[in-house]
Amino acid sequence: DTAVSQTPKYLVTQMGNDKSIKCEQNLGHDTMYWYKQDSKKFLKIMFSYNNKELIINETVPNRFSPKSPDKAHLNLHINSLELGDSAVYFCASSQDQARPFGYTFGSGTRLTVV
């Protein structure tokens, strides 16, 4: 019954590797997002997609590439991982751009690059 689910929950990997984080929502929402929470717990948007179309790309290095195969899924692929990519990544969704009910967040993926 999880509304927004992310996998994996934890990810430990070496510098230079490529990894993906998957996100799925079963709320029927049209818009999905990726947020990054840094070591100081500050949350900042990375991307948003509305019905598979990229809406926001918040000056994120092009090593990060979101992919939305359909409006229920928004995956995040990261190439050539760096130490500074270590953070918690949150997926979220909202009911179209009117957002009458705000946002629903997933439980996060803790990425550790060693």
Q: Is 20 or 56 the residue whose CB approaches other proteins more closely?
A: 56
E strands within the chain? 4-7, 10-13, 19-25, 31-37, 43-50, 53-57, 64-70, 73-78, 87-94, 103-105, 109-113
Question: Structure tokens of 56?
Answer: 């926001």
44 binds other proteins (CB under 8 A): yes
User: Which one of 20, 64, 77, 105 is in contact with other proteins (CB under 8 A)?
Assistant: 105
User: Which one of 1, 14, 40, 83 is in contact with other proteins (CB under 8 A)?
Assistant: 40
Q: Which of residues 7-26 bind other proteins (CB under 8 A)?
A: none
57 binds other proteins (CB under 8 A): no
Q: Hey, is 30 helix, strand or coil?
A: coil
Q: Is 7 or 107 the residue whose CB approaches other proteins more closely?
A: 107
- Counting every residue written for the chain, the total comes to 114
Q: Which of residues 64-83 bind other proteins (CB under 8 A)?
A: none
Backbone region of residue 59 per phi and psi (left: phi > 0; alpha: psi in -120 to 50; beta: other values): left
Residues lying near other proteins in the complex (CB under 8 A) are found at 31, 33, 35, 40-45, 48, 50, 55-56, 58, 90, 92, 94, 97, 99-108, 110
